[in-house]
Homo-oligomer: A and B are copies of this chain.
């Protein structure tokens, strides 16, 4: 690979001149500019991004860490939508996306820590903030812009976030089910150690309390966001007999599909006997049978916004502080109906 010095030599100028040409600096005569570009063209020169990053202290990368160990993570619409929003904005502003994998709980922090500490990215999107580890605290130590997806459990004016108002909208879903006459409503959450799960659970509990319903502990279960988690939750709850739920709320569509599958296998008609609501508004939900009522969460928009905040912060040098929220939407389809009498 030719370097800036090779080009300089061929064009008969100093390396710094070549650098100035390629980084669009002023005070370069038209003649030398052309000579340099010609030499670069002839040699097939492209500036080395790594070297440039080293001096500029800028990588033009946005980082995101994904728990790749859960296969189901890639089956729900969450991950691709996140990537969509992120990529679109990153691309628009000339950034690329650095995706890191992560194994266990702690490892997610390790990975983020590693990427940030080794200066491989200019900003970070924090996907899931776990309750068991203080990732946000760690990130504040570094002087790197980051945006959290969802409102952190210990809100601070120092951190930027984009929130989907999980608690509020989950409550809205539960109220909708109550409005249909349901009183025995199940909550099938994702990973119990993740903030979003806790928020949704709080929304669930609030809505029930509001209606004067005392929820059974057995109505709450965790499916870790995978299809089989929803399936298993039904298997367990069905044993409650007459106290079994007549409606299920699942924290993503994947688990809701698992719930539908379990009900179908047991020949329990949906929505006549049992109603089911999913979350995320996936395409699979729209095409499921029966078509799944689902709480659409605009994850693509959320990450797009997060990426915008990050990039602005990187470019201005100011710590990101924007705290915004997006609106979700309950898409009512065929999987929900009046409670059986």
The chain A residues found within 8 Å of chain B, CB to CB, are 1, 44, 46-51, 53-54, 59, 61, 66, 68-69, 71, 73-75, 77, 79-81, 83-84, 87-88, 90-91, 96-103, 114-115, 117-120, 141, 227, 254, 257, 260-261, 282-284, 287-290, 300
Contacts and interface: CB of A to CB of B under 8 A. Distances in A.
7 contacts: A46-B117, A68-B88, A74-B80, A75-B80, A97-B100, A98-B99, A287-B287
Contact of A287 (B100, B288, B300): B288
A138 to B, nearest CB: 11
A173 B313 CA distance: 52
A309 to B, nearest CB: 18
A50 B51 CA distance: 8
A79 B88 CA distance: 15
B96 A115 contact: yes
A97 B98 contact: yes
Contacts of A96: 98-101, 115, 120
Nearest to A334: B289
A99 B101 contact: no
A79 B324 CA distance: 29
Contacts of A119: 1, 48-50
Contacts of A54: 48, 50-51, 54
A22 to B, nearest CB: 11
A77 B75 CA distance: 7
Top 10 A-B pairs, shortest CB-CB distance: A289-B289, A91-B101, A49-B118, A46-B117, A284-B284, A74-B80, A68-B87, A74-B84, A97-B99, A87-B101
Contact of A102 (B48, B59, B91): B91
A126 B114 CA distance: 27
A83 B254 CA distance: 18
Nearest to A83: B74
Contacts of A49: 118-120
Given A83-B83, A287-B287, 15 more contacts: A46-B114, A47-B118, A48-B118, A49-B119, A66-B87, A68-B91, A87-B101, A91-B101, A91-B103, A96-B98, A98-B99, A99-B99, A254-B283, A289-B289, A289-B290
A217 to B, nearest CB: 30
Contacts of A300: 74
B79 A83 contact: yes
A118 B260 CA distance: 49
A100 B59 CA distance: 13
B87 A99 contact: yes
A101 B118 contact: no
Given A51-B54, A54-B54, A88-B68, A118 B46 contact: yes
